[in-house]
């Protein structure tokens, strides 16, 4: 008797599945609409939850580093380069101001 009940339950379940896959556009569109409505609702709720968590600074927060990074420039070479540029600028000014340099 017990196996008979399980067999009938299985048959009823198979009939329900079989009936769902019969061509019935109204039922299928209804199922799709419910599915996507639930999907969009969960998506909106999850987005609101993420927005709240970000606003309250619980997630996706970057902590600033307090250590100074390594020095990328060699200061002595930079100073020597600046001195060279100043010397060149002074030479250019001397050439511009002294017109008798090339005349004899």
Domain map of the chain by residue range? 2-60+73-97
pLDDT band at residue 36 under the 50/70/90 scheme: very high
**What value does the mean pLDDT take over residues 55-79?**
80
Angle at 10 between CA 13 and CA 6, to 5 degrees: 135
**Distance of alpha carbon 91 from alpha carbon 94, whole angstroms:** 5
pLDDT of residue 66 exceeding 60: yes
| Coil vs helix vs strand at 102 | coil
């Amino acid at each position: 008797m017990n196996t008979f009940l399980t067999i009938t339950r299985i048959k009823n379940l198979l009939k329900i599945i079989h009936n769902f896959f019969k061509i019935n556009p109204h039922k299928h569109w209804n199922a799709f609409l419910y599915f996507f409505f639930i999907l969009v609702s969960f998506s909106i709720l999850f987005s609101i939850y993420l927005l709240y968590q970000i606003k309250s600074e619980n997630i996706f927060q970057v902590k600033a580093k307090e250590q100074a990074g390594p020095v990328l420039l060699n200061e002595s070479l930079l100073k020597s380069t600046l001195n060279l540029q100043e010397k060149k600028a002074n030479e250019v000014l001397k050439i511009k101001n002294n017109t008798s340099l090339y005349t004899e």
